[in-house]
């Protein structure tokens, strides 16, 4: 194989590269996978060192891109998580209740759905709204982070309930 990605000579003969067999097509077979083996597809240019697709021997797959990813429907059979470690955060402040967002029912692509209107969410909680990088600049809502807003509102309601209980007992 020679050249760069744009002009590489196709590797058409079966061979083994570092313990991994390649059959001359798009198939790559790794024997003795184990927990220490990994497969990477990476753009390691000087301007884009963080883009990669990798699968490691522990069964974890990673997709790391410098921009947003669009998918139609994402279904996970395991957990969907995001880093929340205090070591990654600065300027931590309590979340103040800025108001309530009106939940709505609506049709999208002919299907009944429930949720929020991103433009209304942006008025109260702009950090929950993401604008895509298309010409239309469609808005989406980060529903996972909205849980923190709900928790702040629950805390406020609990304070009100406790105050009402104190008034009643006096």
What count of other Cβ atoms lies within 10 Å of the Cβ of residue 130?
14
* DSSP H/E element including 147: helix 143-169
Chain centroid, CA 23 distance in Å: 34
Question: Residue 20's pLDDT is what?
Answer: 65
Question: Residue 1's pLDDT is what?
Answer: 46
- Tokens linked to 104: 């709505």
Question: What would the DSSP string read from start to end of 69-106?
Answer: ---S----SS-------GGG--S--PPPP---PPPEEE
- Tokens linked to 165: 């209980």
- Residue-level length of the chain: 170
What count of other Cβ atoms lies within 10 Å of the Cβ of residue 149?
20
Q: Where are the domains of the chain?
A: 15-64, 90-169
- Tokens linked to 94: 């309590």
Q: Are strands 104-108 and 61-64 parallel, antiparallel or unpaired?
A: unpaired
Write down the pTM of the prediction: 0.60
**Per-residue confidence in pLDDT tens, the chain, 170 aa:** 444 555 556 666 776 666 666 666 656 666 655 556 666 666 656 565 566 677 776 777 777 776 667 777 777 888 888 889 999 999 999 999 999 999 999 999 999 999 999 999 999 999 999 998 889 999 999 999 999 999 999 999 999 999 999 998 87
Question: Residue 62's pLDDT is what?
Answer: 73
How far apart (Å, rounded) are the C-alpha atoms in residues 44 and 32?
27
How far apart (Å, rounded) are the C-alpha atoms in residues 82 and 147?
13
Specify the 3-state DSSP secondary structure of 26.
coil
């Amino acid at each position: 194989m020679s050249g760069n990605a744009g002009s590489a000579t196709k590797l058409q003969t079966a061979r083994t590269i570092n313990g991994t067999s390649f059959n001359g097509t798009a198939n790559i077979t790794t024997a003795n996978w184990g927990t220490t083996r990994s497969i990477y597809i990476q753009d390691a240019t000087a301007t884009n060192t963080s883009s990669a697709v990798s699968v490691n021997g522990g069964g974890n797959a990673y997709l790391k891109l410098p921009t947003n990813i669009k998918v139609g429907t994402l279904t996970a059979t395991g957990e969907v998580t995001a880093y929340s470690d205090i070591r990654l955060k600065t300027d931590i402040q309590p979340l103040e209740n800025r108001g309530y967002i009106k939940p709505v029912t609506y049709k999208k692509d002919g299907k009944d759905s429930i949720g929020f209107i991103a433009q209304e969410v942006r008025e109260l909680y702009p950090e929950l709204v993401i604008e895509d990088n298309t010409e239309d600049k469609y808005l989406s809502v980060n529903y996972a982070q909205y849980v923190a807003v709900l928790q702040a509102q629950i805390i406020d309601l609990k304070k009100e309930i406790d105050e009402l209980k104190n008034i009643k007992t006096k």
